[in-house]
Structure 1
Amino acid sequence: MTYSRYVALGDSQTEGLGDGDDLSGHRGWADRLAEHLDRAHPGLLYANLAVRGSLARHVRARQLAVALELRPDLATVMAGMNDLTRPGFDAAEVAEALEDMYAALTTAGAHVLTVTFPDIGGIMPLARPLRPRVLDLNARIRAAAARHGVTLVDTFPVKSVTDARLWSVDRLHASPAGHALIAAAMAHALRLPGGDDGWMRPLPPRPAPGPLRTAATELRWVAMFLGPWIGRRLRGRSSGDGRTAKRPELTPWAQPASGRSPAS
């Protein structure tokens, strides 16, 4: 199919955190996918409504109506990881928010892509107790996607997705290589020219770090990232407070958003 109006909905992963910075701009997998789409069919119009820190219900409440007004023929929906890591997580509630978005967007004529979540315990050892939550939510996402004819990129069975090289130092956001992999998975799912199943192949092996280095890495991660994250939760703060979408309107991919180049 040919797509001319692509809208991305979601949280920090879709915004592009881990692939760039707040000063120069965040690229991310959605920008990379837009670039691929524009190469295949020049003239793509692209909007990215994602805002970091958003829960699934926030994406539904704050981004869905805007997305529908933009009349996309292609939409991506990625949300739920921020819910997974919070106390009081309710898989049914999160899945309902996602399914509402699938239903509204497909009814409006958009081809919708969504994802399951990887085994986050393989990325953050301290998150291993959350595995049942991931399994529950993924099962609900698969069922909702099937009900609405949504194209699903099922990342959970792909073991290489948890490779540390695909994640930034905070272990919460994909690295540039990780964002490139997500974009490749989306391109493969859309059967875009040049897309293939290479994203599912394991990365080349590398020497395992020794126990002392592993312990030091874990302590540094707790101090630099886990501690501040817990502090925001206790204060009722979000990383997205006061932020807006980086690309709130459909504009040509070749036209920079907010004065930044498409590759920023």
Structure 2
Amino acid sequence: MRGFDLDQNGIISYVALGDSFTEGMDDPYPDSGETPNGRYRGWADRLAEHLADNVAEVRYANLAVRGKLIRQIVADQVPRAMELRPDLITICAGGNDIIRPGTDPDEIAEIFRRTIAKLSETGATIVVFTGMDTGFQPVMRHLRGKIATYNMHLRAIADEYGCLVVDLWSMKPLQDHRAWSWDRLHLSPEGHRRLSLRACEVLGLPVDADWREPWPPEAPRDWRMARQDDLHWAREFLVPWIGRRLTGRSSGDGVRPKRPNLERLR
């Protein structure tokens, strides 16, 4: 499928669906702070901004909420997207399911397929995202095969329904620790910036930067400092994450979508 058709004098409506990845954690706006309920920017907001640079008006909604599983995205976000009937839909779903023990990527992919079939009824251009290659992350490396299986399904679904694909697996610059926030699960502001540029490339939007740009050289880290970082991460992220899994809680409990309606950008 070719890129997204743009009318520079026209109006584009865009709806983003997903979890924390699409909500924008951990890329806060300068005036929001890094509080749990702060407003995040993220690659989807940045993509909407790029769209606004190229057309007369962009109306943008972001329904994504952190921590959501694919069934929750289908139940809570897809009906609203169908109701809004936008020109462009981006959806990244299933990641929180895949990282949980015992989940079946074939089953998750079938849910995703039915979701894309439904969203296709809107006539919107749909952009889907593959999972990241976690081979560079020691804690997440064991999920690599499971993610690869899911990715193969996603590509087949994209082919079936004519979706555009942002291939995160092949984005080698995101395999640098500086592309990730302190929790090692969400992108850093620079990671989100690069991903937005990649999404623009897939859509055929002109940009003035390259997501492939090499990272600047970095001084070697002392092993003691690296060990302290590992301990801090385990204490501040891993232990609370395990606690939420054991008690059935989610980081998205009580969190509302940051842009529930199609609103003019700028």
2:17 & 2:52 partners in 1: Cα distance? 19
1:24 & 1:64 partners in 2: Cα distance? 24
* Alignment counterpart, residue 151 of structure 1, candidates 151, 164, 184: 164
User: What letter corresponds to residue 164 of structure 2 in structure 1?
Assistant: T
Q: Does 1:172 align with 2:185?
A: yes
Gap regions ≥5 residues in structure 2: 29-33
Change (3 A) 1:89 1:5: same
Cα distance per residue 1:39-61 (max 9 Å; x no partner): 11121110000011101121111
* Alignment counterpart, residue 17 of structure 2, candidates 2, 9, 25: 9
Please tell me whether the aligned partners of residues 159 and 202 of structure 1 are also in contact (alpha carbons under 8 angstroms): no
Q: Does 1:115 align with 2:129?
A: yes
* Alignment counterpart, residue 199 of structure 2, candidates 175, 180, 186: 186
**What is the RMSD of the two structures over their aligned residues, measured on CA atoms?**
1.6
The alignment partner of 1:205 has SS state of coil
Residue aligning to 1:262:
none
User: What letter corresponds to residue 213 of structure 1 in structure 2?
Assistant: M
User: What letter corresponds to residue 178 of structure 2 in structure 1?
Assistant: R
Structure 1 consecutive aligned stretches of length 4 or more whose deviation exceeds 4 Å: none
Cα distance per residue 1:213-237 (max 9 Å; x no partner): 2222111111111111001101110
- Normalising by structure 2, report the TM-score: 0.90
Q: 1:137: how far off?
A: 0.9
Q: Does 1:253 align with 2:261?
A: no
Q: Does 1:234 align with 2:246?
A: yes
Residue aligning to 1:68:
82
Gap regions ≥5 residues in structure 1: 255-264
Residue aligning to 2:110:
96
Change (3 A) 1:155 1:202: farther
Please tell me whether the aligned partners of residues 197 and 207 of structure 2 are also in contact (alpha carbons under 8 angstroms): no
The alignment partner of 2:261 has SS state of strand
Q: 1:211: how far off?
A: 2.3
Q: Does 1:49 align with 2:68?
A: no
The alignment partner of 1:132 has SS state of helix
Please tell me whether the aligned partners of residues 164 and 202 of structure 2 are also in contact (alpha carbons under 8 angstroms): yes
Q: Does 1:38 align with 2:52?
A: yes
Residue aligning to 1:257:
none
2:186 & 2:138 partners in 1: Cα distance? 15
Q: 1:195: how far off?
A: 6.4
Q: 1:120: how far off?
A: 2.2
1:202 & 1:94 partners in 2: Cα distance? 34
1:168 & 1:87 partners in 2: Cα distance? 23
Please tell me whether the aligned partners of residues 116 and 155 of structure 1 are also in contact (alpha carbons under 8 angstroms): yes
1:132 & 1:201 partners in 2: Cα distance? 28
Residue aligning to 2:237:
225
- Normalising by structure 1, report the TM-score: 0.90
Residue aligning to 2:31:
none
1:149 & 1:203 partners in 2: Cα distance? 34
Q: Does 1:132 align with 2:145?
A: yes
